[in-house]
Amino acid sequence: MRHLAWHLHTFRWRALAASVGVFVLAGWYSATRLSSVTEATAWDAWLLSLQGPRPGNLVLLDVTQWWLLYVLFLYLTGDIPNADLLARGEGLLPRLGSRRHWWVGKLAALGILVMAYTAAVLIAILGGAGARLPMTSVIHPEIFGLTRTVEPLSLVVAVFLLVASTLLSLAVLQWFLSILWRNAFQGFLAVMGLMTVSLFLGMSRLVPARWLPGTQSILTWHTLYDAQADFSITWSLLYNTTLLAVLLAVSFKSIVRLDIFSHRAHHT
Amino acid sequence: MFVIQLDAVSKKIHDRLILEDVSLDVPAGAIYGIRGPNGAGKSMLLRIVCGLVIPTNGTVRVFGQVIGKDREFPDHTGALIDAPGFLPHHSGRRNLELLAMIRRQIGPDEVRAAIRRVGLDPDDRRPVRQYSTGMRQRLGLAQAIMEHPKLLVLDEPTRGIDVQGVKDVHALLKALKDEGVTILLTSHDEVETRLLCDEVFLLEGGRLISETVRASDAD
């Protein structure tokens, strides 16, 4: 795809790289929380950083650590489609040939970015934790109350897929809403609001957590932590894939007929 | 031969009629101007010509192709509408090179030539976020002309440009016309449109009125 280079250049790579630096601190901080546990490893601290808040137990620190990964990414990428369409549209779209080509390229670039960002965050957390704890490739299930023992490598794959698929589906939702409303900040607020509602509904168990968008990346709500939860990692991956497929279908249908103008421009 | 043919074009947004029954034929090699107050719908009309906005009613033909049916966006067309936007962290030349890479019709030398033609320095390495309004406008013009379009659609091309710069842009547009480029532009400036345009229209209340007809009516 010839125009992928353009789409990749629209991202704020430096700001995203700096935001990854925050997760070095998060890993290091999780390691300090485990410093009283004799046999704790950097992998334990890594899981502590990524597991998310416990159900029914709203600890601000856990919520913030889980939340930060999504807020930073969504904030730093939220205005990109609107900048392409509303500020650069007349120079960009005719060269691409169609709105559909533009959206395909934008989504492909987003997919690449999500995978790079997720991998960088997971490595940064482990690096930060490794500064205080030994890097021994062991996760202690008793620290977290896991229902079974887990190999770090298989957990890395599961966490990577959960975080990346949640991030991708939320980012596509944010972009689509921003485009429809011609306002990137409204799209960002809508997705943040959705995540907040999901978090509190899931916490209070008013709605089965597995049906709430955004909570698929909260490991502590899954069967791995609670055998009664009926919330497996496979379910979450299927949920995110389905959400993404629905968003793609709806967004393609809307974007091919989209009028490209800003509200400000239509008053001039 | 007409390059642009608008036939009874209307556009309604949220129950507000922006354009009403607009018809216009622009012949090849001519400069046509559209004047009108703020909010008259000038930018919207140009966006419709470029395929960026889909009209509620009516047909738009550019180079004989129906926009939205035969083509989503017109061929051989360069456009500058509203304040031009670029990737703020890249230089002007890098921005144009990235855009040129999409079609691969021109190389780096032609990008440099387009930048020089609008009075900017292609070796200026400053990021676009440090450009003045006038420099961004010139870069927007370079973007519009760099792939040698046969039609230019320009929304207030001299906006934010200093007095000498305005003269340079006028000279550039006249030179492009001499090269056979058809130009449709909007302007607030009556003197500018009279100076540049073969025909001037006034967009008022969403309707397009020929200034020539208005003048003869007044007589």
What residue ranges do the domains of chain B occupy? 1-76+150-219, 84-148
pLDDT band at A263 (very low <50, low <70, confident <90, very high): low
pLDDT in tens, B43-86: 999 999 999 999 999 999 999 999 999 999 999 999 999 888 89
Number of A/B CB contacts below 8 angstroms equals 92
Query: Which of A2, A87, A93 has the CB atom closest to B52's CB atom?
Result: A93
pLDDT (tens digit per residue) in A226-262: 888 888 999 999 999 999 999 999 999 999 999 998 7
Q: Is the CATH number 3.40.50.300 carried by domain B1-76+150-219?
A: yes
Whether A265 and B43 lie within 8 Å, measured CB to CB: yes
Q: Å from A63 to nearest chain B CA?
A: 34
pLDDT band at B213 (very low <50, low <70, confident <90, very high): very low
Question: What local confidence, expressed as pLDDT, does residue A266 receive?
Answer: 46
pLDDT-derived band at A210, boundaries 50, 70, 90: confident
Are residues A268 and B39, on separate chains, in Cβ contact within 8 Å?
A: yes
In 3D space, the residue among B117, B127, B116, B45 whose CA is nearest the CA of residue B94 turns out to be B127
B42, HSE (Cβ side, Cα atoms, 13 Å): 29
Mutate to test the interface with A, among B45, B80, B87 (most CBs of A within 10 A): B87
- List helix spans (H) across chain A: 4-9, 13-33, 42-50, 60-77, 80-82, 89-96, 99-130, 141-144, 152-181, 184-204, 233-255
Rounded Cα–Cα distance for residues B64 and A97 (Å): 17
Q: What is the pLDDT of residues A39-73, one digit of tens each?
A: 999 999 999 999 998 887 778 888 888 899 999 99
Residue B6: which of B17, B20, B28, B22 has the closest Cα?
Answer: B22
Please tell me what DSSP assigns to residue A221.
Answer: G
Output the pTM of the full model: 0.91
Identify which of B52, B99, B102 has the shortest CB distance to residue A261.
B52
Of A87, A97, A261, the CB nearest to B85: A87
Query: Are A259 and B52 an interchain contact pair (Cβ–Cβ within 8 Å)?
Result: yes
CB contact under 8 A, B47 and A12: no
Of A2, A3, A260, the CB nearest to B52: A260
Nearest to B54 among A5, A91, A259 (CB): A259
Contact residues on chain B for A265, CB-CB shorter than 8 A: 43-44, 81-82
DSSP string, B126-190: SBGGGS-HHHHHHHHHHHHHTT--SEEEEESTTTT--HHHHHHHHHHHHHHHHTT-EEEEEES-H
Q: Is the pLDDT of residue A108 over 50?
A: yes
Interface contact flag, B102 A3, Cβ < 8 Å: yes
The stretch A153-182 carries a mean pLDDT of 95
- A87:B73 CB<8 A: no
Cβ A94–B143 below 8 Å, yes or no? Answer: no
Write out the two tokens for B180.
Answer: 């056979």
Q: In A, which residues are within 8 Å of B74 by CB distance?
A: 94
Contacts of B133 in chain A (CB under 8 A): none
How far apart are the C-alpha atoms of B114 and B13, rounded to whole Å? 36
pLDDT at residue B38, as a whole number: 85
Instruction: Write down the pLDDT at residue A268.
Output: 38
Give the tens place of pLDDT for each residue, B128-176. 999 999 999 999 999 999 999 999 999 999 999 999 999 999 999 999 9
Q: What is the ipTM of this complex?
A: 0.91
